[in-house]
Homo-oligomer: A and B are copies of this chain.
Amino acid sequence: MPERVRILEVGPRDGLQNEPRSVPTAAKLRFIAALADAGLNEIEASSFVHPRAIPQLADADALFPAGPKDDGVRYSALVPNARGLDRALAAGVRRIAVFTAASETFAQRNVRMGIAQSLAVCADLIARAKVAGLGVRGYVGMSFVCPYEGDVPKERVRPLVERLLELGADEVGVSDTLGAATPREIRETVGHLVARVPAARLALHLHNTYGTALANVLAGLDLGLRSFDAAAAGLGGCPYAPGAAGNLATEDLVYMLERMGYATGVDLERLVAAGAAMATQLGREPDSRSWRVRGSVRER
């Protein structure tokens, strides 16, 4: 039996929140349904952030059904504050993600509060989520390289990961928000983490700004991690991280993992089609190699 690797599809949230063009709710629902149909069973569908902060995700409430959907897919939403959690609960969300960062400057610019204050917000959100029986993921943004502060010391990352887990998070997404890390930083920082934290409670959230994301996945696999975030068509970027490009393309992650003998449960052809449809909606080309190679073969 091939070993299973989990993929959290973050295209509808981390991807679309950073695309300049807004997408109609109906197209988002089609995108999410197509991702689920391709076999992705963990999908971060939106963020209950203030609509003025990220207008692209203002329709988060409309993306979740009234109750839990019985299709075997875990839909989740990012929740930045108490008001967001109220909305998420009203929308029937069963799994949330909370966010802090390992760079003080980035935290200030991204969530307009320092790391300590953002941890306090996470604590409140996780406590309320647990009472409501929700699943919780924590994110530690800018865990490797920060556009403002440069290299992020591993000693700054581990206490944040441990704190989120102590607070009750089921898992933590250790994030290369800038997409500038290489396997050296992954091995240093994640190696430091897995000395104290079970690898099963860690995920790598990678952007592909410098093309190193799949090499970083390999470094993560070698350290025992079996959970990675990605976005169909490599959607995204980050307005608060100058130069940051999109997330690692789910298509390319699936290609590498499946060929390496891991099971992802994803049908790559359907996934390529789902990513291409959303890219068309956005008026851009999908940023995945698996899409491109199919195009080049079609042209023959």
The docked-state distance in angstroms from the alpha carbon of A166 to that of B182 is: 37
Q: Tell me which of B182, B245, B255, B300 contacts A212 (CB under 8 A).
A: B255
Contact of A214 with B211 at beta-carbon distance under 8 Å, contacts A243-B297, A245-B289, A260-B184 already known = yes
The docked-state distance in angstroms from the alpha carbon of A168 to that of B289 is: 38
Residues of chain B lying within 8 A (CB to CB) of residue A300: 242
Q: What is the interface residue range for chain A against chain B?
A: 35 or more
Binding-face segment, A46-54, A84-92, A215-223: A215-223
Q: Does A296 contact B (CB under 8 A)?
A: yes
Q: Does A103 contact B (CB under 8 A)?
A: no
Contact B261 A184 (CB under 8 A): yes
Residues of chain B lying within 8 A (CB to CB) of residue A242: 297, 300
Residues of chain B lying within 8 A (CB to CB) of residue A259: 180, 182, 184-185
Q: How far is the CB of A27 from chain B (nearest CB, A)?
A: 25
Contact A210 B256 (CB under 8 A): yes
Interface string of A180-191 (1 = CB under 8 A from B): 101111000000
Contact of A209 with B243 at beta-carbon distance under 8 Å, contacts A182-B256, A218-B215 already known = no
Contact B215 A256 (CB under 8 A): yes
Residue of B nearest to A262 (CB): B184
Q: Does A208 contact B (CB under 8 A)?
A: yes
The docked-state distance in angstroms from the alpha carbon of A18 to that of B300 is: 15
Copies per assembly: 2
Residues of chain B lying within 8 A (CB to CB) of residue A292: 245
Interface string of A267-300 (1 = CB under 8 A from B): 0000000000000000000001110111011001
Contact A252 B183 (CB under 8 A): no
Residues of chain B lying within 8 A (CB to CB) of residue A252: 210-212
Interface string of A9-53 (1 = CB under 8 A from B): 000000000000000000000000000000000000000000000
The docked-state distance in angstroms from the alpha carbon of A234 to that of B69 is: 44
Q: Tell me which of B215, B217, B245, B296 contacts A217 (CB under 8 A).
A: B215
Interface string of A243-260 (1 = CB under 8 A from B): 101000100100110011
The docked-state distance in angstroms from the alpha carbon of A245 to that of B294 is: 11
What are 16 A-B pairs at a CB distance below 8 A?
A: A180-B259, A182-B255, A183-B260, A184-B260, A184-B261, A185-B259, A211-B211, A211-B252, A211-B256, A214-B214, A214-B215, A215-B217, A215-B256, A218-B218, A237-B296, A245-B293
Contacts A210-B289, A215-B217, A242-B297 aside, 9 further interface pairs with beta carbons under 8 A come to: A182-B256, A184-B259, A211-B256, A211-B288, A212-B252, A212-B256, A243-B293, A243-B294, A243-B296
A residues within 8 Å of B by Cβ? 180, 182-185, 208-212, 214-215, 217-219, 237, 242-243, 245, 249, 252, 255-256, 259-261, 288-290, 292-294, 296-297, 300
| 8 pairs of A and B residues whose beta carbons are closest in the complex | A211-B289, A211-B252, A184-B260, A214-B215, A215-B215, A182-B259, A243-B297, A215-B218
